[in-house]
Amino acid sequence: MKGLKKDAILTDRPYLAYVFGDYTCLSAIRKPGVADIDTTRLTNASIEWSSDKFPRSAQYGDIYANVDAVPESQHVFIQGNSLEERLKKSADTGEKRFVIGECGFGFGLNFLLACDCFSRLATPGSTLFYLACELHPVLKADLQRFTKGLADTFQPYAEKLLDSYPQNGKTVHRISFQINEHNIQLDLLYGDAASTLGTIYFHQGHVDAWFLDGFAPDKNAAMWDKKLCESIAALSKPGTTFATYTSAGFVKRNLESTGFHVTKSKGYGQKRHMLAGRFTPITAANRKAAWTFPWNSTSQMPMGKGRKIAIIGAGIAGCATAHALARRGYTVDLIEKNAEIANGTSGNPRSLVHLNPAQRLTPAMRFRFNAYLFALRHYSSLSDGADFNWKPEGIFRLTRSQQEQDTMAIIMQRQLYDEAHVLTVDALEINEIAKFVPENPGFYFPDAGSLDPAALCHAWIRHKNIQLFTSHGVLDFKRKTNRWCVTLLANGEKETSEYDILVMCNNMDASRIRCLPDYPFSYNHGQTDTFEIPEAISIPAIALCHKGYLIPWEKDNKRMLTIGGSYAQGRYQSNSSKLLTQKNLSLLEKLSPALHKKMTATQIESISRIGTRCTTKDFQPLIGPVEDTQACEHLYSDLQRNARKVIQEGPVYLPGLYINVGHGSTGLTTTPLAGEYLASIINDESLSLAQEEIASIHPLRYLIRRLKKQQMD
């Protein structure tokens, strides 16, 4: 389509169907052995806008809001949970967190009301944690239309929500922001409420107040069944309150059967009654644990911000983790053996934030897609106050064969990924964006991009709570009097320091630490080559990738081109390799034969940079607490006889020891979420990952597989 622009690709839905149909036929999709469309896909809300500009659900035949929406929500949910009085009391007693759970996020009105109330009444520096379930997320365009009609009071929060709002993706979507010295952390749980709440881990009773705001029980009975009430009770603690506009008898009975003391009170306006109540556990909590549970069942660690934390390794994993902990008020020592941070592959001149879609949303793929979306939100927010040359200009992933085109067609036909983030385009369309004509169609990621990894690391650790120690190598550490005693080599002399918590982010050096389990690391020695491109040579406008990558960027008003993807097995490190440079040039020839010919003819010299990437046998990172191998082998020994046996007992971990390594070539995509996840464990929050995603990255997974005698993926 002549004259097509990037925005047209993102907004013209009929055009997307045209592009898809342009090179896809049924025979390419329905091949023998290929399963039907993935049934886990979410369906967005179908909204009907009435003449008075209020939204109605076509799925449920019920309204989201009317002219009294704000005062009604204020009456039912804010007053029904005595939120203002409780926040004032929390401020008087010095409490720094409040947790609200919601079933039925809809257009986020209750969330905006809660943000306003919290910002007015809570102590500065406090955090509102808000968990909200939604089976049919509204589209961003509908959300924007609704929030525009709200009072100015709510607009700052609405803008923050819209900036990071995810339209799709069955997972936990975390959005964090700060307004008026108050921290807001929103976890959007997309999926069926009862099932989704059941996938959330928490260390202890978590939620302080519930907003039960689904559609009317006669239109959406599943929203109010006993299974959901049991999930709500499992996340509650003694004294947790709830409020809901409904007064249906079966809703009252289901809540009472799970431990809530329920009372009827006056409803809003013409509505006679609503329900509210308080949680009083019927029996002691009996949480069903699993090997993915990331806390020791009985905490062996002192709680609170006074704990002394060290992060070993100042690459992108270490810096991201330090940033996530510092934001929560922790004081962090960041320890790096080299004289500079980001000394390994984290210091490449240019790297991509990208995604490689798979045909199935396996737990591992769910984690990667979740991490990708989180990284896009995170870099967008961080770049407002820091310069790490974040360029979300899009990435084009080429297909090189008919088989790859068939795979791409299957992925798109299954609609596994939000089309706002993953599109397919043909050669003509990509030429409009990239100024590059490929031989075949491919994936287009409009929000992906590239950045300067070293500058990003500096931006992450530019925080008053982070103290950097360079030229400090870790020789060993051991447990001593309930703390970790770390032996360091600094300026040729040995030093010792003690910490409550250690986070190992030192990749291949982690395998040399004696007290760590024998994790199955693997290593690739690779190289990037960067060229300064004369004005006479045309280069693509956005990054291209296919078994390697080509990134155009600028430095001091000079056009640069970084090529990467060449590697050799093992941990070999030396000077730059002419052989690997040649491999990179061969990659360029495959991606753009014309550009390769021009660059070869002008004999442009490259600046090469070597490095070793660390990954694992299943190509998933190791993120989480480090297990006590002997104790866990005993605890889960029955798996050797019956691999399917369900052992509902949480693992035993080495107290205060965590690991965050093995991100391979996708570190810029996965480390922001990895750091957030670890910080959530340490800070005793609900987690930013569902249980199945945790299982795909948990360090203990290798011991469990070994006991089950499973092969590595």
User: Among 199-203, 306-310, 378-382, whose mean pLDDT is lowest?
Assistant: 199-203
Contact assessment for residue 251 and residue 217, using Cβ atoms and an 8 Å cutoff? yes
Residue 510 shares a structural domain with residue 529: no
User: Does the pLDDT value for residue 569 go beyond 90?
Assistant: no
CA–CA dist 317, 664 (Å, integer): 11
- Beta bridge pairs of residue 277: 242, 262
Please check whether residues 52 and 193 belong to one and the same domain: yes
**What pLDDT score does 20 carry?**
27
pLDDT at 472: 95
- 536 and 592 part of one domain: yes
Same domain for 162 and 226? yes
Tell me, yes or no, whether 74 and 217 share the same domain: yes
Query: Is 80:243 a contact under the CB 8 Å cutoff?
Result: yes
Report how far residue 464's alpha carbon sits from residue 484's, in angstroms, rounded to the nearest whole number: 24
pLDDT in tens, 437-447: 888 899 999 99
Question: Do residues 88 and 193 both lie within one domain?
Answer: yes
Find the CATH number of the domain harbouring 538.
3.30.9.10
What pLDDT was estimated at residue 2? 35
Which range among 56-70, 146-160, 297-311 has the greatest average pLDDT? 146-160
What order do you get walking across the sheet with 466-469 strand by strand?
466-469, 332-335, 309-312, 501-504, 653-661, 622-627
Choose the final residue of a domain: 589, 616, 643: 616
Is pLDDT at 10 greater than 50 in this prediction?
A: no
Q: What b/e readout covers 629-658, taking b as 16+ CB neighbours within 10 angstroms? A: beebeebbeebeeeeeeebeebbbbbbbbb
Query: Can you give the length of the chain in residues?
Result: 713
Shared domain for 166 and 237, answered yes or no, is yes
Query: What confidence category does residue 512 fall into, taking pLDDT thresholds of 50, 70 and 90?
Result: confident
Residue 127 lies in a domain: yes
Question: Mean pLDDT lowest for which of 314-323, 351-360, 416-425, 446-455?
Answer: 416-425
pLDDT (0 to 100) of residue 304: 60
Q: State which residues form the domain around 571.
A: 522-616
- 691 pLDDT tier (thresholds 50, 70, 90): very high
User: Quick one: 652 and 549 in the same domain?
Assistant: no
Which pLDDT band, with edges at 50, 70 and 90, does 286 fall under? Answer: low
Q: How many domains does the chain have?
A: 3
Query: Is the confidence at residue 222, as pLDDT, over 80?
Result: no
- Indicate if 122 and 207 belong to the same structural domain: yes
pTM of the model: 0.90
Residue of 10 and 166 predicted with greater confidence: 166
Mean pLDDT across 596-621: 88
Boundary of a domain, candidates 548, 582, 616: 616
pLDDT grade for 28, boundaries at 50, 70 and 90: very low
Residues in Cβ contact with 329 at an 8 Å cutoff, skipping those fewer than 6 apart: 125, 305, 465
Instruction: Indicate whether 480 and 566 sit together in one domain.
Output: no
DSSP bridge pairs for 334? 311, 468
pLDDT at residue 285 in the model: 53
Instruction: List residues bridging with 210 in a β-sheet.
Output: 101, 242
- Please report, for the domain that includes residue 516, its CATH number: 3.50.50.60
Measure the CA–CA gap between 419 and 427, rounded to whole angstroms.
19
- Is residue 318 assigned to a domain? yes
Residue where a domain terminates, one of 260, 279, 298: 279
pLDDT of 613 reads: 87
Confidence of residue 656 (pLDDT cuts 50, 70, 90): very high
Percent of the chain topping pLDDT 70: 90
Q: Is the pLDDT of residue 298 over 60?
A: no
Instruction: Indicate whether 384 pLDDT > 80.
Output: yes
Domain assignment of residue 174, yes or no: yes
pLDDT grade, residue 180 (50/70/90)?
confident
Domain harbouring 69, CATH code:
3.40.50.150
Q: Are strands 549-555 and 442-445 parallel, antiparallel or unpaired?
A: unpaired
Amino acid 447: pLDDT: 93
Report the chain's mean pLDDT, rounded to a whole number.
87
Domain check: are 160 and 228 in the same one? yes
Which pLDDT band holds residue 549 (cuts at 50, 70, 90)?
Answer: very high
- Model confidence over 604-614: pLDDT tens digits? 888 988 888 88
Q: What is the pLDDT of residues 325-335, one digit of tens each?
A: 999 999 999 99
Place of tokens 């990467």: 564
List, for residues 237-257, the tens digit of each pLDDT value: 999 999 999 888 889 999 999
Do 174 and 256 have their domain in common?
yes
Residue 678 lies in a domain: yes
Contacts of 114 (CB under 8 A, 6+ apart): 77, 78, 83, 100, 128, 130, 211
Task: Give backbone dihedrals phi and psi of 50, rounded to 5 degrees, phi first.
Answer: -80, 170
Task: Count other Cβ atoms within 10 Å, centred on residue 706.
Answer: 14
State which of 190-199, 227-236, 449-458 shows the largest mean pLDDT: 449-458
Question: How far apart are alpha carbons 23 and 27 in whole angstroms?
Answer: 11
For residue range 104-152, list pLDDT tens digits in order.
999 999 999 999 999 999 999 999 999 999 999 999 999 999 999 999 9
